[in-house]
Amino acid sequence: MDGWIARMENALATLAARLDEPPSLEELASAANVSPFHFHRIWRAMTGETVARTIARLRIANAQQRLAEPDASVTSVAMETGFGTSQSFARAFRRVTGMSPTEFLSNGAERITAATAEGAPLRIELRERAELVVLRREGGAYRELNELFWQLWNWAEGAGKLDGLQGIYGIPLDDPVSIEEHRLRYDACLAFTDPGKPPAAFARVTLPAGDYAVVRHHGSYEGLEASNQRAIDALLALARDPADFPLFHHFLDDPEEVAPEALRTDILIRLVPAENRPC
């Protein structure tokens, strides 16, 4: 499977470099070193979509980046990204993002650069370095984590650290779909301006500064894993590689004060710098 992934990545790179004039079936098949007779079926098996759908998503991702620029207009961006008319651009944009280009502009285009298949916005953010104090739980599903976070919170309160609290984070270190429940690891995290030296039961983790792909999850924490997967799916359309760093959650609301359906959680994936992306 690793071999097939590498071959399809070659085809994807060929495609992404020529979205204005997409390569032919023969060129894509050659890049993947596979027969043109079988390329489309293999592509669908590996990506879950047709080549045409991939082209549309990549074009829309480019269009969103262009729309975020101050001098952009819907008509000019439609032409620049390979759509024959503003109408065809608007239809494709809504199909991929769930909104029209005009709605995208009015909802803050400067913050959004791609979209998941379900329309949940994915954006690229430049984040500053953050210092976390971490308490890990080994074994157990990613639920009923309140006790873990309370242990961390009680230490911070007793140590007089809460005045410097910058955020509450969680790091699910494993894929619960692929890893047995008793092997799952989870880090409960608090970010501080000055963490100091925590007790031996805790650890320090640095969230490096840099580009992060961000998807906002709305609702109960029970739906976070599905949103994690959608974030990964959307990231693939950006042609940006995830760094060697776990996906993590930034909890924006207090679940004791906010109803489950109104909770907001940012899912963050650190990205390899664009200039270091492997060819």
pLDDT digits (tens, 9 = 90+) for 112-130: 344 443 445 677 888 888 8
C-alpha 270/C-alpha 243 separation (Å) is 5
The whole-number pLDDT of residue 86 equals 82
DSSP state of 139: S
The whole-number pLDDT of residue 114 equals 41
Give the E-state strand segments of the chain in sequence order.
114-115, 121-127, 130-138, 165-172, 185-192, 203-207, 210-218, 248-251, 264-270
| Phi-psi domain of 133 (left: phi exceeds 0; alpha: psi -120 through 50; beta: other) | beta
The whole-number pLDDT of residue 66 equals 76
The whole-number pLDDT of residue 1 equals 55
C-alpha 182/C-alpha 7 separation (Å) is 35
pLDDT greater than 90 at residue 193: no
**What percentage of the chain exceeds 70 in pLDDT?**
88
* Strand order through the sheet with 130-138: 114-115, 121-127, 210-218, 264-270, 248-251, 165-172, 185-192, 130-138, 203-207
C-alpha 102/C-alpha 110 separation (Å) is 13
pLDDT greater than 50 at residue 204: yes
pTM here is: 0.58
- Which one has a higher pLDDT value, 246 or 97? 246
Residues whose CB is less than 8 angstroms from the CB of residue 16 and which lie 6 or more positions away in sequence, other chains included: 58, 239
pLDDT greater than 60 at residue 85: yes
pLDDT tier at 149 (50, 70, 90 boundaries)? very high
pLDDT greater than 80 at residue 84: no
Cα distances (Å, whole numbers) of residue 189 to 68, 169, 198: 33, 5, 12
Residues whose CB is less than 8 angstroms from the CB of residue 191 and which lie 6 or more positions away in sequence, other chains included: 130, 131, 132, 165, 166, 167, 168, 169, 207
Average pLDDT, the chain: 82
pLDDT greater than 70 at residue 111: no
Q: Which two tokens stand for residue 27?
A: 């060129």
- Which one has a higher pLDDT value, 191 or 74? 191
